[in-house]
Amino acid sequence: MIKKNIIKNNLISYKSRNLNGIIEPPADKSISHRALLFSALAVGKSKISNLLNSEDVLNMVKALRVLGVKITKKSNTYIVNGSGLTGFKTPNKHIDCGNSGTLARILMGAIGGSEIFVTLTGDSSLRKRPMNRVIKPLEKMGINFNSSNGLLPLIVHGTNEIMPIKYDSPISSAQVKTSILLAGLNAKGTSEIIEPHTSRDHSENLLKYFGANIKYKSKSSGKNKVLITGGNNLRSCNIDVPGDISSAAFTIVAATIIPGSNIIVKNVGINYFRKGMLEALNMMGAKIKIENKFINNFNEPIADISVQYSKLKGITLGSRYSSRLIDEYPILTMAAATASGKSIFKGLSELRHKESDRFNGIIDGLISCGIKVQSKKDDIIIYGNLDQVNGGVTVDCKYDHRVAMSFLILGGVSKKPIKVVGCKSIATSYPNFNSEVNNLGMNIKNDI
Ligand code: S3P
């Protein structure tokens, strides 16, 4: 059952007092999706604790149940009775992926090895997002699709004759990589995926933990290659999901830009391919410290992060950073708006294909708040100046959770409040966002 969404659609963020306290972000969305899906593909019972209880992830639970997977919940633990690599059943209804691109795209590769056909659809935002990036390589592996223009709704026809593939991906996308890896689990032979830069490697880490025949090195720069050989069953596992750095990013930036703040964010996954935002903020002059770091049983680094208010200065970030902080640009650009001086963020074309067109949403929203912003091809240039963050506007986040939370955080330092429309979307990743940031000191209210 999806928990009733308690977030109102229209929220107003007023000037905030200093933030103080300890907070734990919600569980990691990427790892939650993978923990559920890989457990469903394994043999035996897997246990997942601290699964993210948000709409996107609960839609994955529903999708797997529709495919015949038994999933139960005992207090805080999900128990997934794996169906094996080829054990999904043709469902008697379509699968609704809601707002989640990750769910739709990684499920396509996973379904592909079962001889079934399944219709996937999603909400109006997801139905606009490109699926050809996964359809194309999966078709080369023998999986068939019926779709118009590579958009949802579409039908996936699985096969028991998956062919291995060598795929040189034009983009660095963990969703594309994961979809091919999951199809590759059923291929007769070794598949090779190459991407321009390493995208988040949670799938590689978890697949190894589940016993897949996978080889990877996750290089910090340059092309990345992953090899997977089909035929090995996955074994059941116990997974404790760490906190989500992409959600922690909102409180980290809030404490950095709101004078007098001092907070600790606990239990945050700090995978190298996700923590570009921490590096960017430190380059801007933020006081962020990593404490109590350890590596968990599926090779993910986890730590507490302490954050103190600090005056920020603008930076230039090259495109090689973009896949390491792709989900954090909305909140990072808010920090840049309050910093002194110019910031240039390069190579942001992928922002146009997220839950909304974030590239233009950020620019339009910041300009309406009083900030000078320009774009040049795929780059965004922000002329940061706290004195010009006027606010006093309504930002339509286009039902995009990260855009909504970003402008609500900016409201904490703007001269006049910022109203955000479309905030129900926040429940897709951070259902308790406003109550939790208000507990630290922010002042976000329902618009009545
Ligand atoms: C995700 C990968 C990223 C990211 C998304 C989650 C994942 O998308 O933006 O929020 O869990 O694999 P791309 O694969 O399109 O880069």
9-31 residue pLDDT tens: 999 999 999 999 999 999 999 99
**Range of 377's domain?**
10-27+242-446
- Is there a domain that residue 4 lies in? no
Ligand 1 neighbourhood includes 173 CB (under 6 angstroms): yes
Same-domain status, 222 and 253: no
Q: What's the rounded Cα separation, in Å, for the pair 429 and 28?
A: 9
Q: Give the domain-ending residue among 205, 240, 275.
A: 240
Same-domain status, 259 and 189: no
**DSSP summary character for residue 187:** S
Closest to 16 in 3D by CA, of 429, 447, 445: 445
Same-domain status, 229 and 267: no
> What's the CA-to-centroid distance between 191 and ligand 1, angstroms?
21
For residue 379, the surrounding DSSP H or E stretch is strand 379-384
Same-domain status, 254 and 204: no
- Which residue type, as a one-letter code, is found at position 73? K
- Is there a domain that residue 2 lies in? no
Judge whether residue 289 has pLDDT over 70: yes
Q: Whose CA is closest to atom 10 on ligand 1?
A: 327
Positions marked active-site = 327
134 sits in the region (left: phi over 0; alpha: psi -120 to 50; else beta) called alpha
Those residues whose C-beta lies under 8 Å from the C-beta of residue 427, and which sit 6 or more positions away, are 5, 7, 54, 55, 401
Q: Which among 37, 60, 102, 246 is the best mutation to test ligand 1's pocket, defined by most ligand atoms within 8 Å of the CB? A: 102
**pLDDT given at position 3:** 47
Q: Give the domain-ending residue among 240, 274, 295.
A: 240
Ligand 1 neighbourhood includes 174 CB (under 6 angstroms): yes
Q: What's the rounded Cα separation, in Å, for the pair 409 and 422?
A: 15
Closest to 360 in 3D by CA, of 398, 323, 405, 413: 398
- Is there a domain that residue 1 lies in? no
Ligand 1 neighbourhood includes 100 CB (under 6 angstroms): no
Pairing of strands 341-345, 316-317: parallel
Q: Give the domain-ending residue among 188, 222, 240.
A: 240
306-364 residue pLDDT tens: 999 999 999 999 999 999 999 999 999 999 999 999 999 999 999 999 999 999 999 99
Q: Which ligand 1 atom is at minimum distance from the Cα of 178?
A: 12
Same-domain status, 186 and 266: no
Q: What's the rounded Cα separation, in Å, for the pair 103 and 429?
A: 13
Ligand 1 neighbourhood includes 102 CB (under 6 angstroms): yes
Q: What's the rounded Cα separation, in Å, for the pair 328 and 362?
A: 12
Judge whether residue 4 has pLDDT over 70: no
Domains in the chain, number: 2
**DSSP summary character for residue 261:** -
Q: Identify whether the C-beta of residue 138 lies closer than 8 Å to the C-beta of residue 113.
A: no
Same-domain status, 228 and 341: no
Q: Identify whether the C-beta of residue 405 lies closer than 8 Å to the C-beta of residue 426.
A: yes
Same-domain status, 261 and 399: yes
> What's the CA-to-centroid distance between 326 and ligand 1, angstroms?
8
HSE-CB of 277 using CA atoms within 13 angstroms: 28
Ligand 1 neighbourhood includes 206 CB (under 6 angstroms): no
Give the percent of the chain with pLDDT over 70: 99
Same-domain status, 234 and 269: no
**pLDDT given at position 178:** 99
Band (pLDDT 50/70/90 cuts) for residue 228 is very high
Band (pLDDT 50/70/90 cuts) for residue 414 is very high
The CATH number covering residue 64 comes to 3.65.10.10
Q: Identify whether the C-beta of residue 20 lies closer than 8 Å to the C-beta of residue 248.
A: no
- Is there a domain that residue 5 lies in? no
Same-domain status, 134 and 146: yes
Q: Identify whether the C-beta of residue 89 lies closer than 8 Å to the C-beta of residue 116.
A: yes
Mean pLDDT of 285-298: 98
For residue 235, the surrounding DSSP H or E stretch is strand 234-235
**Cis peptide bond prior to 170, omega within 30° of 0:** no
**pLDDT given at position 288:** 98
pTM for the predicted model, two decimal places: 0.98
Same-domain status, 78 and 212: yes
Same-domain status, 16 and 64: no
Band (pLDDT 50/70/90 cuts) for residue 6 is confident
Q: What's the rounded Cα separation, in Å, for the pair 93 and 234?
A: 27
Judge whether residue 443 has pLDDT over 90: yes
50-92 residue pLDDT tens: 999 999 999 999 999 999 999 999 999 999 999 999 999 999 9
- Is there a domain that residue 194 lies in? yes
**pLDDT given at position 412:** 98
Judge whether residue 448 has pLDDT over 90: no
Q: What number of other Cβ atoms are within 10 A of residue 96's Cβ?
A: 20
Closest to 248 in 3D by CA, of 49, 99, 429, 48: 429
125-138 residue pLDDT tens: 999 999 999 999 99
Q: Which among 30, 178, 179, 357 is the best mutation to test ligand 1's pocket, defined by most ligand atoms within 8 Å of the CB? A: 30
Judge whether residue 192 has pLDDT over 60: yes
Q: What's the rounded Cα separation, in Å, for the pair 403 and 423?
A: 9
- Is there a domain that residue 3 lies in? no
Burial 227-255 (b: 16+ CB within 10 A, else e): bbbbeeebebbebbbbbbbbbbbbbbbbb
Same-domain status, 128 and 18: no
Q: Is the sign of the CA dihedral 204, 209, 214, 217 positive or negative? A: positive
**pLDDT given at position 24:** 98
Mean pLDDT for the chain overall: 97
